[in-house]
């Protein structure tokens, strides 16, 4: 039984290679890895690239086994099945927001004091099953960064996760893998916790291998970016949008949430493109942002794009 066949209509996903938004609401067809059945792509080319260069060749079998076993475990518990399955689907849908807006600032990724070697990120949500769309059913409440073994001990208490932990790497193995990759990427363990606001039932799932590429932060390298002290507010704002924002907009939200306005706008202007092409590039970015960004977090981005597309810093 393939996990993606249970994804509800209207769910949106991000290509694991290029981060393009896919799904019914965008009109972009989702291509799934035929082996693990849970990794989405926009094209065969992106799938081949991620298999050879992105690390999916190494992760695919483990993903296939853990998701299949987790599904069997939750099917054996009818009372917990619906919430756990929806939380698992939701965690995949919001992986772009988690990777771009949460992990870098929460765990100091790219910095000397990078914390993912010994810590994981816990994300807490309230769940309201009476809402129509999956994205509307979960409401982010808060987050915490906890020592690796403390977080895993808590998650192991959820029976639906028991089989997932059988193949989970030890803290020591995670540290070795991280130090081999940390110059250009990082892998983070993330716990998703949801509480049904009506029944009080809880679900906990884990993604032990959330992969973050530093090159995703295209305006300022992740290693040079300021940590966004208000990342939870930025993360909550992005999750409140009707659908997943395009990857460029998520990176812009992180940039303007982290940096002083003029530094952020200058970084946008310095994006690697020929000067004569920049007005066109910024116009397209502004068109993409209009209607999707608003309020105190969206306004600086719209203003900066309006100023830069006119040809000046």
| 161-186: pLDDT as tens digits | 544 444 444 444 444 444 444 467 78
Question: What pTM, to 2 d.p., does this model score?
Answer: 0.74
> Coil, strand or helix: which one is 213?
strand
Query: Is residue 187 assigned to a domain?
Result: yes
Task: Tell whether 91 is covered by a domain.
Answer: yes
Q: Environment class of residue 39 by beta-carbon count within 10 Å: exposed (0-12), middle (13-18) or buried (19+)?
A: buried
In this predicted model, which residue has the larger pLDDT, 181 or 117?
Answer: 117
- For 30-34, 65-69, 202-206, 300-304, which range has the lowest pLDDT when averaged over its residues? 65-69
Distance CA 162, CA 212 (A): 26
Average pLDDT score, the chain: 79
Asked if residue 298 is part of any domain, the answer here is: no
Residues 267-291 pLDDT 10s? 988 875 566 667 777 788 888 888 8
Position 299 in a domain = no
Structural domain range at position 86: 3-259
- Predicted confidence at residue 34, as pLDDT, reads 83
Structure tokens at 153: 């001990």
pLDDT score for 5: 45
Return the closest-CA partner of residue 157 out of 85, 95, 91, 206: 206
Q: Report if residue 278 sits inside a domain.
A: no
Strand partners, 120: 146
Q: In the predicted model, what is the mean pLDDT of residues 110-129?
A: 91
Is 147 part of any domain? yes
- 171 within some domain: yes
Give how many domains the chain has, as a whole number: 1
For residues 14-43, average pLDDT:
78
């Amino acid at each position: 039984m393939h996990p993606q066949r249970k994804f509800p209509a209207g769910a949106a996903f991000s290509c694991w290679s290029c981060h393009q938004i896919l799904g019914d609401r965008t009109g972009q067809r989702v291509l799934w890895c035929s082996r693990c059945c849970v990794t989405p792509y926009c094209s065969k080319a992106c799938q081949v690239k991620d298999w050879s260069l992105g690390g999916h060749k190494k992760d695919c079998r483990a993903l296939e086994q853990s998701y299949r076993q987790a599904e069997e475990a939750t099917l054996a518990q009818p009372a917990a099945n619906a919430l756990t399955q929806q939380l698992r689907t939701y965690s995949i849908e919001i992986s772009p927001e988690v990777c771009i807006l949460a992990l870098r600032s929460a765990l100091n990724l790219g910095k000397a004091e990078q914390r993912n070697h010994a810590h994981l990120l816990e994300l807490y949500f309230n769940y309201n099953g009476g809402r129509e769309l999956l994205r509307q059913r979960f409401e982010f409440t808060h987050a915490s960064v906890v020592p690796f073994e403390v977080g895993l001990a808590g998650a192991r208490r959820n029976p639906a996760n028991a089989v997932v932990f059988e193949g989970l790497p030890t803290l020591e193995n995670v540290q070795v893998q991280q130090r081999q990759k940390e110059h250009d990427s990082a892998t983070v363990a993330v716990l998703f916790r949801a509480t049904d606001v009506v029944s009080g039932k809880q679900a906990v799932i884990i993604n032990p291998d959330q992969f973050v590429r530093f090159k995703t932060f295209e305006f300022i390298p992740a290693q040079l970016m300021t940590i966004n002290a208000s990342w939870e507010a930025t993360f909550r704002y992005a999750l409140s949008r009707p659908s997943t924002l395009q990857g460029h907009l998520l990176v812009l939200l992180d940039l303007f949430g982290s940096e002083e306005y003029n530094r952020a706008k200058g970084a946008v202007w310095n994006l690697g493109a020929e000067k004569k092409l920049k007005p066109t590039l910024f116009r397209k970015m502004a068109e993409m942002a209009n209607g999707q960004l608003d309020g105190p977090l969206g306004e600086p981005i719209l203003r900066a794009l309006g100023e830069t597309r006119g040809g000046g810093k």
